[in-house]
Structure 1
Amino acid sequence: MFKPSPTALAILATLAAPHTLAEEAKATLFDDVVVSASRTSAQKAEEVPAAMMVVDAQQIDDRQMNNIADLVKYEPGVEVSGNGRFGLQDVTIRGIGGNRVKIMIDGVDQINGYDSGTQFMRSSRNFVDIDSLKQVEVTKSPASSLYGSDAIGGVVAFTTKDPADYLEAGDDTALSIKAGYRGDSQTFSETLTLANRSGDWESLLLYTRRDGHETETQGSVGGIGDDRTKANPMDVTNNNVLAKLIYAGQGNHRAGVVAEYFDSTTEGDLLSENDGEPGAPGVTYANMQADDTSTRSRFGLFHDWQANLAAFDTLSWKLDYQDSESDQVTRNWYSFYQTNRAMSRQYQETSWQFSLDLAKSLESGSVKHEISYGADFNREDLENLNITTYESDRPTDIARYAPKAEATTYGLYLQDEISIGALTVIPGLRYDNTEMKPQIDEYYHGGDDFKDHKSDKLTWRLGTLYQFTDSLTGFFNYAQGFRSPDLKEMYYAEDSGRGYALLANPDLEPEESDAFELGLRGAGSFGAAELVLFYNQYDNFIEQTTDYSNPAYPYGLLQYNNVSEATIKGAEFKSQLWLDALMGAPEGMSLTLSVAYAEGENDTKGVPLNSISPLSGVIGLAYDDADGIWGGTLDWTLVQGKDESDIDPPSDRTGSPVTPYTTAGYGVLDLTAYYNVSEAFVIRGGVFNLLDKKYTRWDDVSSIEAGRTNMDRFTQPGTHVGINATYSF
């Protein structure tokens, strides 16, 4: 599996060979500037001893990216799953997703996902609007040595726009108006941005509004119940506000305040959920309706100081308050009690987060040190509440399936980038301490004698780069990762009253990992390429297990336990070739090729990991006019099918394995283009799934059994268009 392909080696050899072309080499995909790799300083992606993905605002606009799934659409090995009522849910990197991937906005940790295990509650982590972002950085390997717990599967770092992104030298005011339409969900969007510079002060106000409907499927059957294959009808509205005020004088200090507000509302009819709930014999639903609201608000202060002192050259600190909340209301007719009911499922996280980052450069002869160190503190309050009311004379039910809790985490880190000629060595070390205190009240029925959970961990990493030639670099990276168990895994408890129950487990241990990456990266006048091999070992994996030994619970007692060890290994290749320099094609024409392969196994059970996506690749042919007036890209995404032999089959409610649903391979063509009508006015458009291919993504159906008649409900949209126009003053 680790044998490099002849194509990959040939491309690398071509790029690494000495070139005699007089023209200056163009910027490649490894010239992107990233910050998340060191936390304290900007560096080119080519200087990072690990595989990374970077998407900037220009790509977001030109590729018609409309949501977080679009951000990773053309990056094999990184996926975003979810659709329907709860929308996009999890980011998965090399087969690891959910709360095992750290998501940050401007360095602020985002809410954990919270799933009730039913169709009534599933709080996502999708609290960001694409138009507010200037860059997205994805670290594909564990990053606990820099970012602590929840980075066991990697990091997704969103960076929001600044006033300087709109203000050129000499400008005092900039106004941008953007309007767009996306056909797969009939969504209209409008973004208004105002930036100002007055002396040493800069300000930004950005507002985005989106109004749309459900994301369409290629199903053809309407009606209600388990045979429905069309998407359930939904009305979706999003609002996002970003405001910044920054002191950016000529001195050594830069400081400011930032405020964000995001809300999303979804209203619709859950027609596919009527007339039955899978796994609940004798229970039927009718008139199922959803009324869901998600909000996130943040207020932060930051200060950057160019101090040039003996202890540090630069110092940066941030203090942020964040409140994230989901309230998902389901209304239906419930046959078990023969009445209409309304269920409100609420989950909320509020947090105070503080981070301190310092950096120092030292040089002794031929040895250079770039030292970064600092600390993080995070205090969170977590709360869930479930309120069920009935039209009949039944009393209102109020319950917490997990208790209110207070979580406190602090971490200390140290990293040194040591350069000795062509060799760079980067050792890093971090200590993290986590404590969660459950707060039991009358609404929680999972137990009352729980001790506080405490866990700590010392993690380290070692990254190395070696510059073989001006065009060829090799790198190796070893990184440890860990993740403390979350609120749901430790304390979620519920007795359904219908033959199954969920039990709390406050004695869970943290998950741990060891990850190895070996890569070869080349760049030259003809383009750039990277080949990466990776091997990741995970211990103490937390999984939900089911005990069928209690006859009072014929459908099982469910509980989270540290039961599994897992191994994930694979290879990735990406390249960007300038066809004009390589073979005399029209100036501005380029070709990109990306491929990702992974295989994973639950070592405890000896079965495949269903979180591993099939082999996939993207071929992109792009043209950009030499004057920058117009251009476009044709992307061909190819995905292999998922065979039954590569699937751990799901179980029915008695624990017996059933035949899994498998997905077929597919290829999808997308065409995007832009045209600068003037310096101020640009139009962008795209046609997606150009050949109207009917296909299903594995990540959306990985736990479903074969034989269902409604699988077209999980298909992706057919041919659809997107268009937007931006006018900037």
Structure 2
Amino acid sequence: MNKLKFTHTAILLLITYMGTVWAQDEESEDGLKMSHMVVVANKSPRPIKDVVGSVVSFTADDISNIQAENFDDLLRFQPNINMESTGSRFQSSSINIRGIGDNRVAIEVDGVPSTDQFDIGSFSNSGRLLPEIDLIKHVEILNGPASTLYGSDAIGGVVAITTWDPAELVSQTDGNDFYKLRLGYEGKNHSQVATGTGAWQGDAFGGLVSMTHRKGKGINNDDFVDFEQDKLDWDSDSFFAKATYATTNTDLLTVTLQSAKSSLKSENNSLLGEGRQFSNSTQIDGDDETDMMRVSMEYQFTTGLELFEDNVLRIYHLDSETDQRTVDYRTSRGTPVRQNRDFNYQQKILGMEFNSFAQIGRHNLVTGIDFSQTKTKERRDASQTNLLTGDVTHTLLTESFPLRDFPNTTTDELGIFVQDEMELDSNWTIVPALRFDYYHLSPHKDSLYIQSHPNSEVVSITETALSPKFGVLRHFNNNVSAYAQYVRGFRAPPFEDANIGLEIPLFNIRAIPNPDLESEVSDGFEIGVRQGQAGQHFSTVLFYTRYKDFIETKANVGKDPSGTTLIQSRNLNRAEIYGFELSYKTDLQYWSNNLLGWSLETNLAITEGNNLETDQPINSISPAQAIINLGWQNPNKKWKLNLVSTLTNDKTRVDETEAEFYKPDGYVIFDLLTHYQLTKNSDIRFGIFNVTNQEYWRWQDVKNLDPNESFIQAVTRPERNISLSFSQKW
């Protein structure tokens, strides 16, 4: 596909539709989705028509209708927002918004930040703690820099997840309690799920308990793979409990416990014989375990003070541990050996946040302060056993194990912000905001790190930053609103970039810290138009973001006097990302009464990015994509059908100055989703995905792969597959 075709389509849709938008003179407060409330843009509920910024939201019904079992499923019909993958074994690891991913996108669950994602080498990857899909009330995604309200981790955007409260579930029944059982199957990875949820609500006390068990295998793409496929067996168990106590009619105390454990055993056949690292490997087995927990307390309360009218105090603790073991059978100089590798990564976060909301005349004020302390440590161990003699060595590729790749690190972050939505009149609103951030990274060299890197110096980092924001909102008399905004983004240097330690004499490579590493800064500009009336909704966004001091991780910075290649994280002076997004949804009955029950939704995104230092494209950006969703619902709302078409452009703009990368062709796929409401409290959902059995690749899955690697076939997207789920409520 040609990107020019996408651009022409976007312009045609915009011009054609704007004629109908501006021709409408009657206001309609029932505009499709225009009255939908979102929280993420202001940290307090606002109708989407009153929001400055680009927000994508999913309700619990939306999540069920697209038959999502995880966040990869949730985002499959949302262009410009993608899950990033690290391969067959570790699968999806982080969220990419408009080409910015990794830990540059803040993820919050009930206002509590998630743990960081971290990976190093080919055997190590630790993900982030996310709740089970059945527990989610809604998900809101704020596109683009959002550091003013959310701090250092939000230079790329925010994913805000809200879970159910007991009272909200009980309100779906006629009594004081609620129970739900859901069973599901996904053919894309032969996974099965069983979730049980119970909730009750009294006059003051409420409680919710939910447990989920999942198990599955690897990607179902046998039709497209001509070698022995990777074999994965995984299972996970999650537990979620929430207790609420209404201390008064307006004050609510909430305590939440969330835990998740997962294990995965893998036979990584696609790596065998690949490249220099695995050319002599005959068997590679993985055994991975993850254990994560969150405990939080939230108190919503009011005061008699005008400036602190409504308040939220939140205290939280997160604890995550990842242990990944790899056994590699290979030959070394003709001798059969077994290499055992063990990666352990632990992170603990303790934090608090206080937000206050007040309405004073025409001013809607939001103020806040947040503090967090993060402790991170990592350890790698390895051994090699000679299978003929039984001799064991703990030195592999001249690395002596055990070792640490970075010193144990404590990170303290403090943020203070204020935002004022000033209604100048019934049509105009301006939104100035300002945040102050303090960031301190403190490394701790223990005996293991000193033993691993005796000649390595470590650096502490202290950073402060001011992140302003200014937005303008204009309401017109035909239910049209337009906005423009400027947002400063900020990201302090993370521990893995500040003090990464690595020395492999065999390859003459040494990683060194960078005491001069600066914080990343972005300047984002965005203009958007929204229109909603009975039966249809339209929005379009143009955005441009310029980045300064963007951190390039583990860059080759030359050689020292002895000829050793030096690896160091460094700042790139300038980069830019810009693009266009369009969304249009209509009930087709709006155009013809003969189309009762039919709907059409279209989403389009085109994004480009350039490294202004080298005049090369940015490789983390996904190709242009359009999603077309044709839906039907019968009059009694028992049946729902959706035919979804995903059109993705070729990936052509790639920086290949250092190496050549695989560039997947564009593709068109179709998915068919059905929903049948058996009774008021039970339903069945069935889907057929990749209906035409199209072989295709997502750019985010292959963006770092050599075009000659056979491993590329291992990450082909699933062949034609089905999804089936049944739920029953009492």
TM > 0.5 between the two? Answer: yes
Do structure 1's residue 212 and structure 2's residue 213 form an aligned pair? no
**Greater displacement, 438-447 / 58-67:** 438-447
Do structure 1's residue 649 and structure 2's residue 656 form an aligned pair? yes
By how many angstroms is 1:383 displaced?
Answer: 0.5
- Per the alignment, residue 66 of structure 2 pairs with 63
SS of equivalent residue, structure 2 residue 392? coil
SS of equivalent residue, structure 2 residue 188? coil
Aligned equivalent of 2:167, options 141, 148, 164: 164
C-alpha distance in 1, partners of 2:612/2:36?
A: 38
- Per the alignment, residue 604 of structure 1 pairs with 613
Change (3 A) 1:451 1:220: closer
- Per the alignment, residue 460 of structure 1 pairs with 468
C-alpha distance in 2, partners of 1:706/1:192?
A: 45
Aligned equivalent of 1:578, options 575, 583, 587: 587
- Write the mapping of 1:40-189 to structure 2, written as runs, cut at 5 A: 41-82=44-85, 83-116=87-120, 118-125=121-128, 127-168=130-171, 171-189=175-193
By how many angstroms is 1:551 displaced?
Answer: 9.1
C-alpha distance in 2, partners of 1:418/1:605?
A: 42
Aligned equivalent of 1:275, options 273, 276, 280: 273
Structure 2 gap segments, 5+ residues each: 395-400
Contact 1:218/1:713 (<8 A) preserved: no
C-alpha distance in 2, partners of 1:62/1:280?
A: 44
C-alpha distance in 2, partners of 1:100/1:684?
A: 35
- Per the alignment, residue 370 of structure 1 pairs with 364
By how many angstroms is 1:625 displaced?
Answer: 3.0
Q: Deviations over 1:672-714 (max 9, x none)?
A: 1111111111111111111111111111111223333443222
- Write the mapping of 1:323-338 to structure 2, written as runs, cut at 5 A: 323-336=319-332
SS of equivalent residue, structure 1 residue 81? strand
Q: Deviations over 1:208-232 (max 9, x none)?
A: 1111101223554455xxxx5x3x1
SS of equivalent residue, structure 1 residue 682? strand
**Greater displacement, 309-318 / 403-412:** 309-318
Contact 2:489/2:523 (<8 A) preserved: yes
C-alpha distance in 1, partners of 2:214/2:688?
A: 20
Contact 1:314/1:360 (<8 A) preserved: yes
Q: Deviations over 1:427-464 (max 9, x none)?
A: 11000101011000122134554342111101010111
Contact 1:15/1:528 (<8 A) preserved: no
Contact 2:459/2:498 (<8 A) preserved: no
By how many angstroms is 1:25 displaced?
Answer: 7.1
Do structure 1's residue 11 and structure 2's residue 17 form an aligned pair? yes
Change (3 A) 1:292 1:709: closer
C-alpha distance in 1, partners of 2:649/2:570?
A: 33
**Greater displacement, 254-263 / 244-253:** 244-253
By how many angstroms is 1:70 displaced?
Answer: 1.4
C-alpha distance in 1, partners of 2:223/2:168?
A: 43
- Per the alignment, residue 496 of structure 1 pairs with 504
Q: Deviations over 1:569-601 (max 9, x none)?
A: 111100111100222243221111110001110
Contact 1:29/1:576 (<8 A) preserved: no
Change (3 A) 1:481 1:243: same
- Write the mapping of 1:693-712 to structure 2, written as runs, cut at 5 A: 693-712=694-713
By how many angstroms is 1:199 displaced?
Answer: 2.2
- Per the alignment, residue 234 of structure 1 pairs with 232
- Per the alignment, residue 257 of structure 1 pairs with 255
Do structure 1's residue 341 and structure 2's residue 368 form an aligned pair? no
Contact 1:483/1:511 (<8 A) preserved: yes
- Per the alignment, residue 399 of structure 1 pairs with 403
Q: How many residues align?
A: 704
Aligned residue identity for 2:221: T
Aligned residue identity for 1:300: S
Do structure 1's residue 317 and structure 2's residue 341 form an aligned pair? no
By how many angstroms is 1:133 displaced?
Answer: 1.3
Do structure 1's residue 546 and structure 2's residue 556 form an aligned pair? yes
TM-score computed with the length of structure 1 as normaliser: 0.93
- Per the alignment, residue 301 of structure 1 pairs with 297
- Per the alignment, residue 647 of structure 2 pairs with 638
SS of equivalent residue, structure 1 residue 166? helix
Aligned equivalent of 1:527, options 536, 540, 565: 536
**Greater displacement, 256-265 / 2-11:** 2-11
Contact 1:650/1:703 (<8 A) preserved: no
Do structure 1's residue 202 and structure 2's residue 206 form an aligned pair? yes
- Per the alignment, residue 690 of structure 1 pairs with 691
- Per the alignment, residue 654 of structure 1 pairs with none
- Per the alignment, residue 282 of structure 2 pairs with 286
- Per the alignment, residue 722 of structure 1 pairs with 723
By how many angstroms is 1:511 displaced?
Answer: 0.3
C-alpha distance in 2, partners of 1:274/1:551?
A: 37
Change (3 A) 1:466 1:25: closer
Aligned residue identity for 2:568: Q
- Per the alignment, residue 32 of structure 1 pairs with 36
Do structure 1's residue 592 and structure 2's residue 594 form an aligned pair? no
SS of equivalent residue, structure 1 residue 498? helix
Aligned residue identity for 2:269: L
Contact 1:399/1:443 (<8 A) preserved: yes
By how many angstroms is 1:166 displaced?
Answer: 1.5
By how many angstroms is 1:563 displaced?
Answer: 2.4
C-alpha distance in 2, partners of 1:380/1:285?
A: 38
C-alpha distance in 1, partners of 2:243/2:679?
A: 30
TM-score computed with the length of structure 2 as normaliser: 0.93
Aligned residue identity for 2:193: S
Aligned residue identity for 1:625: N
Change (3 A) 1:705 1:551: farther
Aligned equivalent of 2:448, options 443, 454, 458: 443
- Per the alignment, residue 398 of structure 2 pairs with none
- Per the alignment, residue 431 of structure 2 pairs with 426
SS of equivalent residue, structure 2 residue 447? coil
The percentage of aligned residue pairs carrying the same residue is 26
Change (3 A) 1:38 1:198: same
By how many angstroms is 1:525 displaced?
Answer: 2.2
C-alpha distance in 1, partners of 2:155/2:222?
A: 36
C-alpha distance in 2, partners of 1:563/1:307?
A: 48
Contact 1:12/1:521 (<8 A) preserved: no
Q: Deviations over 1:620-644 (max 9, x none)?
A: 111223333221211101001112x
Aligned residue identity for 1:369: H
By how many angstroms is 1:395 displaced?
Answer: 4.9
Contact 2:459/2:499 (<8 A) preserved: no
Contact 1:485/1:508 (<8 A) preserved: yes
Do structure 1's residue 485 and structure 2's residue 493 form an aligned pair? yes
Aligned alpha-carbon RMSD (Å): 2.1
**Greater displacement, 253-262 / 387-396:** 387-396
Change (3 A) 1:496 1:132: farther
By how many angstroms is 1:146 displaced?
Answer: 0.2
Change (3 A) 1:108 1:650: farther
**Greater displacement, 175-184 / 10-19:** 10-19
Contact 1:516/1:535 (<8 A) preserved: yes
C-alpha distance in 1, partners of 2:516/2:282?
A: 40
By how many angstroms is 1:188 displaced?
Answer: 0.6
Aligned equivalent of 1:245, options 243, 246, 249: 243
C-alpha distance in 2, partners of 1:17/1:402?
A: 61
Contact 2:671/2:689 (<8 A) preserved: yes
Aligned residue identity for 2:19: A
Change (3 A) 1:716 1:650: farther
SS of equivalent residue, structure 1 residue 641? coil
C-alpha distance in 2, partners of 1:528/1:371?
A: 29
By how many angstroms is 1:486 displaced?
Answer: 0.9
Aligned residue identity for 1:299: V
Aligned residue identity for 2:302: Q
By how many angstroms is 1:128 displaced?
Answer: 3.3
SS of equivalent residue, structure 2 residue 713? helix
Aligned residue identity for 2:321: E
